[in-house]
Amino acid sequence: MSIRDLFKEAEDVLMCADPAEKAQASIELYDQWCSLPQSSLDSLVKLPSVSVVRTLDAPGRPEKPELVEARHLPRRGMGSIAGRIGLIHSLAHIEFNAINLALDAVYRFRDMPADYYEDWLRVASDEGQHFLLLQARLGSLDCHYGALKAHDGLWDMARRTCHDILVRMALVPRILEARGLDVAPPMIEKLQRLGDEDTARILQRIYTDEITHVEVGNRWFRYLCEQRELDGTEVFRDLLKGENSAYLRSPYNEKARLQAGFNEEELTLIKEMELEYKAAMTQAD
């Protein structure tokens, strides 16, 4: 097969409700893109599409897991099998939503260079591979995706940023996905200490890939700021004001964040905005 209508085909995968089918389809969609002649890509993304951009309350997803508010999810330590199952299930849910976010970045935001679509199709493919690895790991522990409750925080951010590609690039890869760069290394170390090398290897793969995914977000955020003649640091500061700073939690993996395209000024800004938000919450109390 070959891609004929990129936006319709991305929408079809986005609206697929079966997690494993969606993951596999995202991998295949990127493979199809890679099989196309490089010379044809610019014209492909400019072709008229039968797909119409619309607000999506939700992407395609199964009835389970049941979605609840994050504060209602139980906290489990990794020292027990049940705790590790809870962690793996949570990661599988994150990766499933990451497929949706990457596909939505393709489907929703048009009139971008072909390289933009290649980047996000690759991200969707990576996230699909991550999901399948985690799903298989759950199966090896006599569990499955959907067996536990989960929350809808990632797609909620997709809803809140659907109006502007600049806002999406600023807040999804640079805030939500970048959070994974901070928390993954300690998790990997703990899993290794517990002797769970299988899960640790999967998480190491995810961590390595996420550095490149955050770099994609950083690169296109800077591109859009340049196109609009905006100061990226000031735009980032404005977007972090208020509730968006609630996603900022130290300590930060500065080495990985720099590798993923942040600069020193932005790292300083992130720390300042976290402190500002905490101070505001303390005053509110």
Instruction: Give pLDDT tens digits for 225-269.
Output: 999 999 999 999 999 988 888 889 999 999 999 999 999 999 999
Does residue 68 form part of some domain?
no
Residues 17-45: pLDDT tens digits? 999 999 999 999 999 999 999 999 999 99
The answer to whether residue 174 is domain-embedded is yes
| Mean pLDDT for all residues in the chain | 94
Residue 119 covered by a domain: yes
Mean local confidence (pLDDT), 109-123? 97
The verdict on 8 and 135 lying in the same domain is: yes
User: Looking at residues 116-144, what average pLDDT do you find?
Assistant: 98
* pLDDT, average across residues 73-92: 89
Domain of 10, in residue numbers: 1-58+75-155
**Is 44 domain-assigned?**
yes
Are 198 and 284 within one domain? yes
180 and 101 fall within a common domain: no
Q: Which residue has the tokens 């897991």?
A: 65
Distance CA 149, CA 59 (A): 18
Last residue of some domain: 155, 177, 206? 155
Is residue 130 domain-shared with residue 270, that is, in the same domain? no
Q: Is the pLDDT higher at 243 or at 60?
A: 60
Q: Is residue 122 part of a domain?
A: yes
- ∠ CA 60-187-262, nearest 5°, is 75
Counted domains in the chain: 2
Q: Are residues 207 and 103 in the same domain?
A: no
Q: What is the pLDDT of residue 285?
A: 67
The pLDDT value given to residue 43: 94
pLDDT tops 80 at residue 76: no
Are 117 and 205 in the same domain? no
Q: Do both 177 and 147 map to the same domain?
A: no
Shared-domain flag, residues 18 and 139: yes
Which of 134, 155, 176 terminates a domain? The answer is 155
Same domain, 150 and 122: yes
Q: Could you tell me if 109 and 205 lie in one domain?
A: no
Residue 105 lies in a domain: yes
In a shared domain, residues 117 and 201? no
Q: 159: buried, middle or exposed (CB in 10 Å: 19+, 13-18, 0-12)?
A: middle
pLDDT at 114 over 80: yes
Q: Which of 109, 135, 155 is the last residue of a domain?
A: 155
Q: Is residue 211 domain-shared with residue 240, that is, in the same domain?
A: yes
In a domain, 7, yes or no: yes
